[in-house]
Amino acid sequence: MLDPILIDTITFTREQQQCSGEVRLQALDRRVWSHELLAQRDGIIQFQARGGIDRWQRPFINISIKGELKLVCQRCLQAVSWMLDDQSHVVLFADEQSLDDAMVADEALEGALWQEELNLTSMIEDQILMAIPVAPRHNDCDHVLATSTNQASDNPFASLAGLKSGH
């Protein structure tokens, strides 16, 4: 597992510092590299984080992640390339009540509790997990899905329907 990338939250946000680099997918937490939709674990994720203070004087961290992942196509169950390109604006709050109130007021807000030292690696892992699509698939997947338009003769239980009508 990758050593945590720790940032001093006060300094990082007040001085609008930036941090960037790349991490190997296999080096991240097990909940990422063992995700059921990952076809391969050898991806590399580039990240960039920038701190700041918004117009309401709330500290925030912007995180951008990019990389190519191999996911399992939900039609043919073969690997499909998927480009991860996600940005997140996380506002930091001093307490649960402030966080809850802000999230109720703005449903699109991404918020987290303030910590003196934040684990950027953990934030990147969470962002990857939230970005993975629910049902990845090839754009031109030729796998034929079963449809309700199949003829009754294709249905092995079609002959049983005749027995039911006798009752």
Segment 125-134, tens digit of pLDDT? 999 999 989 8
DSSP 90-141: EEEESSHHHHHHHHHH-TT-EEEE--SEEEHHHHHHHHHHHHS-SS---TT-
pLDDT of residue 165: 57
Q: Can you list the residues of the chain whose pLDDT is less than 70?
A: 1-2, 143-167
Q: Identify the DSSP state of 25.
A: G
Contact predicate 82/71, CB 8 Å: yes
The residue ranges of every structural domain in the chain are 6-139
pLDDT tens for each residue of 16-33: 999 999 999 888 888 887
Q: What are 55's two structure tokens?
A: 């117009």
